[in-house]
Amino acid sequence: MKIAVLGAGAWGTGLAVRWAGSAQVTLWARNPEHLAAMRASRCNERYLPNVALPEALGLASDLAEAVRGVDYLVAAVPSAGFRGLLQQLAELRCRLPLVWLCKGFEAGSMKLPHAVLAEAWAGRGPAGVLSGPSFAQEVAAGQPAALTLAAADEAFARRAAQDLHAPALRLYSSSDVIGVEIGGALKNVIAIAAGVSDGLGFGHNARAALVTRGLAEMTRLGLKLGGRMETFMGLSGLGDLILTCTGDLSRNRQVGLRLAQGQSLEGILRELGHIAEGVTTAREACRLAGELSIEMPIADAVRRLLDSELTPKEAVAALLNREQKDEGV
């Protein structure tokens, strides 16, 4: 099996390291200087420090070289870079099975990755999304994780899950692309809220309430867009929501924790040095929810906090002072 992992951030590198034990893998970095540094140190100091790159892992900064002769393309760039990467691949006349990893909406268009793919990858090969609870550091270290691979073409989802599984990396297949994408995108927004709550010193009760009501919001939007209930209760929904709301390795949770301490969003993102998809997704999901008349109070409070319309304490008060309602989704 030959795999090209396109994007050398934390997640692309983590998976490339994992897959290199059982497949022939090339990791592509768009920045030649970044690639040269990885070649020299056999480590991705910038995005996944303290993880040795196996000797067998190929490195390339030339996209054409990275994709030559492979069985799978794995798009490991953030949502903001997905369309651009697909366009570059199309210019190379690539026609290959593709799996994407990004968890978020495209800025400005309110589009999930599958909709971007429909515009930029039509007819170029079967494609699916891989998502679920998976911190890159743990996967790179060979610790167990279970993810979902969803594709509209069920047979492709099953085949890709079989081909891309690795020791301690269990992949389930699904045909619910929208449900899987909504879970991955919305959990990042709720993780910011959970970080704010913990950062303000609230307890386990508050966090459990945010996770549960966050799941209700995710489900409400996801069902409206055509996702399936069981998907939101699965690995890519509730599973990733629990991980990201409770695990300090989450960059989105870190954004919330630091906002609660009074840091500016700009400063936090600069200090993190990684993508926190929940920031863009909060804005896009709230716009979409507005158009669809769907209530998403937690996402709305996060969006207003990110846009400096509320302080962290005011965001909490806005949630607690909403009018009484029935619990149902």
Ligand X SMILES: NC(=O)C1=CN([C@@H]2O[C@H](COP(=O)(O)OP(=O)(O)OC[C@H]3O[C@@H](n4cnc5c(N)ncnc54)[C@H](O)[C@@H]3O)[C@@H](O)[C@H]2O)C=CC1
Chain residues in the site for ligand 13P (CB under 6 A): 103, 133-135, 188, 191, 240, 243-244, 250-252, 277
Annotated active-site residue in 187, 224, 313, 325: 187
C-alpha of 231 from chain center: 16
Residues 50-109 that bind ligand X (CB under 6 A): 76-81, 84-85, 101-104
Residue number with the shortest CB distance to ligand X? 9
Residue closer to ligand X by CB (options 191, 298) is 191
Residue 103, φ and ψ in degrees, nearest 5? -120, 85
| Distance (Å, whole) CA 255 – CA 265 | 8
Please report how close the Cβ of residue 187 comes to ligand 13P at its closest, in angstroms: 7
Residue closer to ligand 13P by CB (options 103, 220) is 103
| Distance (Å, whole) CA 302 – CA 116 | 25
Please report how close the Cβ of residue 104 comes to ligand 13P at its closest, in angstroms: 9
Residue 236, binding choice from ligand X, ligand 13P, none, Cβ under 5 to 8 Å by partner class: none
Please report how close the Cβ of residue 202 comes to ligand 13P at its closest, in angstroms: 20
19 annotated as a binding-site residue: no
289 binds ligand X (CB under 6 A): no
Catalytic residue status for 2: no
Residue 113, binding choice from ligand 13P, ligand X, none, Cβ under 5 to 8 Å by partner class: none
Q: Which two tokens stand for residue 182?
A: 């909504």
Catalytic residues: 187
Residues at the annotated binding site for substrate?
103, 251-252
Residues at the annotated binding site for NADPH?
11, 30, 47, 103, 136, 251, 275, 277
